[in-house]
Chain A
């Protein structure tokens, strides 16, 4: 923020260059979770499914279904299971097809 302000004062331009150039402030955005399949067990997946406030997660056998569209990036799954959930850093999430936003995460950690 400070750097952004000083750069703006120096150059006199505050407007972002996005989409022609990447925007540095995008690093600070809250982003949806990314899962570690090998650290993810069926029990952890059920736990995460039950605490997800927007119903973005559901388990189907050895597959965790993750609906990016429903996710509010609240970070509760990452707080519950920090060994299995990280932040994805992806924020350009717009899709022309709703089914593109539903991701299947393999569960490789066993029960």
Chain B
């Protein structure tokens, strides 16, 4: 998702964020992952993370879902099912690619997979990690509905030689 250009676009984004703000139903889609991402997603519903307190709910039906949480490298055999799931969701909808597989890290050259989720579905938010921890998933969901700011833009992943262990900003 790029930055809004026109005021109409910004208004539309704000409206969507407001509609998604209080109650959001999540459909998870496993496109060939090793199921560790699913374990972390399952933990979101456990008492420690308790994503229901934030207004997020899991739903088994794509027709009830606002957000598609996609894991795995998108195996080619699953393409039709993935497209059908996406088409069955009512708009406005958000697609979140979860984990290093879905972002092209683990099987980029495998002939049985597309390697990335955005080869098939229009992805709005990317959550890195192998697997992303439940806290990282919570942050990603917050970013997807516009409640939390994306922080990785400011992180440069370099360390100054003078100040040990501190991640410097660009």
Contacts and interface: CB of A to CB of B under 8 A. Distances in A.
**Are A and B bound to each other?**
yes
Interface of A: 14-16, 18-19, 23, 25-26, 29, 32-39, 54-56, 66-74, 86, 88-98, 100-101, 103, 105-106
Interface in B146-170: 147-148, 150-153, 155-161, 164-165, 167
A90 B125 contact: no
Given A94-B144, A98-B118, 10 more contacts: A14-B47, A14-B48, A36-B158, A36-B159, A68-B152, A88-B167, A94-B139, A96-B1, A97-B2, A101-B128
B139 A72 contact: no
Interface stretch (B17-25, B75-83, B129-137): B129-137
A70 B103 contact: yes
B162 to A, nearest CB: 10
B34 to A, nearest CB: 11
27 contacts: A14-B47, A15-B48, A16-B48, A32-B157, A38-B161, A54-B100, A56-B105, A66-B157, A68-B128, A70-B100, A70-B108, A71-B105, A72-B100, A72-B130, A89-B165, A90-B155, A92-B148, A94-B143, A95-B128, A95-B150, A96-B1, A96-B125, A96-B126, A98-B118, A103-B156, A103-B157, A106-B158
A103 B164 CA distance: 20
A89 B150 CA distance: 16
The B interface is mostly helix, strand or loop, or mixed, namely loop
Say which size band chain B's interface belongs to: 35 or more
Given A72-B130, A89-B167, A105-B157, A95 B100 contact: no
A68 B167 CA distance: 15
Contact of B136 (A72, A92, A101): A92
Contacts of A91: 129, 133, 135-136, 139
